[in-house]
């Protein structure tokens, strides 16, 4: 067992990103092409940048012709490329380049993230619709739905900010999108973009109002500085 563990450790490791294993079909690879790619990456990480396909064929248990076919497929699918490198001594060597693979995974990841953002945005939009309808106690009209969509898509108001404007409108018993729009425009002028910004602005206003109340109490009332003149009955 000790001898086996020694051989196991000396054999080294091949590091494969889970993104490759989880998405190889999405970037157009078959299972055989994935195995071939993993062998290429294994040799590359061991320092062999352009391994002999005969050796890979032996490890995979396939013919050399089959490895050539797999190699051609990876190149056609723009998963790998072959680069010629000139060394300082004037010699040229070929090596496999995997930048196209990483670019494909990056593009796939971005598209996936964009889809997630679209889903989250649509869910947030639906949540805004439903909460406004609940507070207004009625369904929203098509024009009102369009107005809310414009807040999100054109004015780029965050759903949380729209819901804060709804809260302010309800507190003032104003069940109207026009009232909410005035609130949002006022916040936009103040560069208020999040619910946290709204809370900070409210705290500042409360502090100013408190200071004004304190100052007004400290101002002494005006008094008549003239001496009081007693009233006599001059007729006596």
Report which of 136, 123, 145, 189 is spatially closest to residue 167, judged by C-alpha positions.
136
> How do beta strands 81-86 and 92-97 pair?
antiparallel
User: What letter would DSSP give residue 84?
Assistant: E
Q: What is the pLDDT at residue 229?
A: 44
Q: What is the pLDDT at residue 235?
A: 45
Span 196-234, pLDDT tens digits: 899 898 888 888 876 666 666 555 555 555 545 444 444
End-to-end CA distance of the chain: 135
Task: Supply 53's token pair.
Answer: 């396909």
Gyration radius (Cα) of the chain, Å: 37
Residue pLDDT tens, the chain, 236 long: 777 767 766 767 889 999 999 999 999 999 999 999 999 999 999 999 999 999 999 999 999 999 999 999 999 999 999 999 887 888 899 999 999 999 999 999 999 998 888 888 888 999 999 999 999 999 999 999 999 999 999 999 999 999 999 999 999 999 999 999 999 999 999 999 888 899 898 888 888 876 666 666 555 555 555 545 444 444 44
pTM of the model: 0.59
Task: Supply 205's token pair.
Answer: 């206003």
């Amino acid at each position: 067992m000790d001898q086996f563990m020694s051989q196991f450790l000396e054999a080294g490791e091949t590091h494969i990103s889970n993104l490759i294993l989880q998405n190889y079909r999405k970037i157009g690879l078959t299972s055989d092409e994935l195995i071939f790619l993993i062998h290429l990456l294994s040799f590359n990480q061991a320092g062999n940048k352009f391994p002999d396909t005969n050796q890979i064929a032996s490890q995979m248990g396939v013919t050399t012709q089959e490895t050539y076919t797999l190699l051609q497929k990876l190149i056609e699918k723009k998963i790998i490329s072959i680069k010629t490198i000139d060394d300082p001594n004037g010699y040229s060597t070929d090596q496999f380049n995997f930048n196209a693979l990483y670019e494909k995974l990056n593009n796939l990841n971005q598209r996936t993230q964009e889809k997630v953002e679209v889903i989250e945005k649509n869910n947030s939009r639906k949540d805004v619709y439903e909460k406004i309808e609940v507070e207004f106690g009625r369904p929203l009209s098509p024009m009102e739905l369009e107005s809310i969509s414009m807040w999100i898509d054109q004015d780029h108001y965050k759903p949380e900010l729209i819901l804060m404007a709804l809260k302010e409108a309800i507190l003032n018993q104003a069940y109207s999108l026009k009232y909410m729009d005035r609130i949002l425009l006022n916040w936009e002028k103040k560069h208020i973009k999040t619910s946290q910004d709204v809370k900070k602005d409210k705290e500042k206003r409360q502090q100013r109002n408190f200071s004004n109340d304190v100052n007004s109490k400290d101002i002494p009332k005006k008094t008549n500085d003239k001496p009081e003149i007693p009233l006599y009955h001059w007729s006596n």
